[in-house]
Amino acid sequence: MSPSFRSLSAAIIVGLFALLGAFPCPSSAASKAQIDRDVDKALQELYASSPAAKVLASEAKGILVFPSIVKAGFVVGAQGGNGALRRHGRTAGYYNTASASYGLQAGIQKFGYALFFMSDSDLRYLNKSGGWEIGVGPSIVVVDAGVAKALTTTTARKGVYAFFFSQKGLMAGLGLQGTKITRIHPD
């Protein structure tokens, strides 16, 4: 490895850590009350920006919301955050999402996502899996602008629908493949 490449790598890593300070990380010790407040705010923002999400909410068996995920990486990356499962407008459990990745990547990003469980069997899978790795189990449809236009409660009867929101930062691409969701018990 040449000295100039090492210097460039070190500068990028220092820059990433500086950027990381600009995005407050979701605390692993966040309280139930704080998670609930963040989820309430995230759902309001999501429904205001995506009418399809609001329509699905009326039919969903449960909505798992992660209001603040922080993703950072330089060749090796990680992302994580806490959220809550809502059933009939009430919190039914608290969860953590985490993943690691490697490859051509550099940057930092903050975003949120919500998973709309449209069937009882998909929701049961989340609760009985003891740690759901996305990509294994229920099928997931990532809802973008094109899918959202065609989405109705008639067409969305099965599966899990994922909505991303509040994206900020300097990292290309969002994905859920390989993400692990685990139940937590905050104070």
Please give the pLDDT value at position 153: 45
Please give the pLDDT value at position 96: 95
Please give the pLDDT value at position 116: 95
| Half-sphere exposure of residue 47: CA atoms within 13 angstroms, side-chain side | 13
- Please give the structure tokens belonging to residue 66: 């992660």
Please give the pLDDT value at position 18: 44
Please give the pLDDT value at position 42: 97
- Please give the structure tokens belonging to residue 96: 């953590």
Q: How far is CA 22 from the centre of its chain?
A: 19
Nearest to 114 by CA among 143, 75, 89, 135: 143
User: One digit per residue, pLDDT tens: the chain, 187 residues?
Assistant: 556 555 545 545 544 444 444 444 444 458 999 999 999 999 999 999 988 899 899 999 999 999 999 988 877 778 899 999 999 999 999 999 998 877 777 788 899 999 999 999 989 988 887 777 665 556 677 776 544 444 444 445 568 988 988 888 766 555 555 688 999 999 8
Please give the pLDDT value at position 3: 61
Please give the pLDDT value at position 167: 82
Please count the structural domains in the chain. Answer: 1
The domain of 151 spans 3-184
CA distance 118 to 101: 29
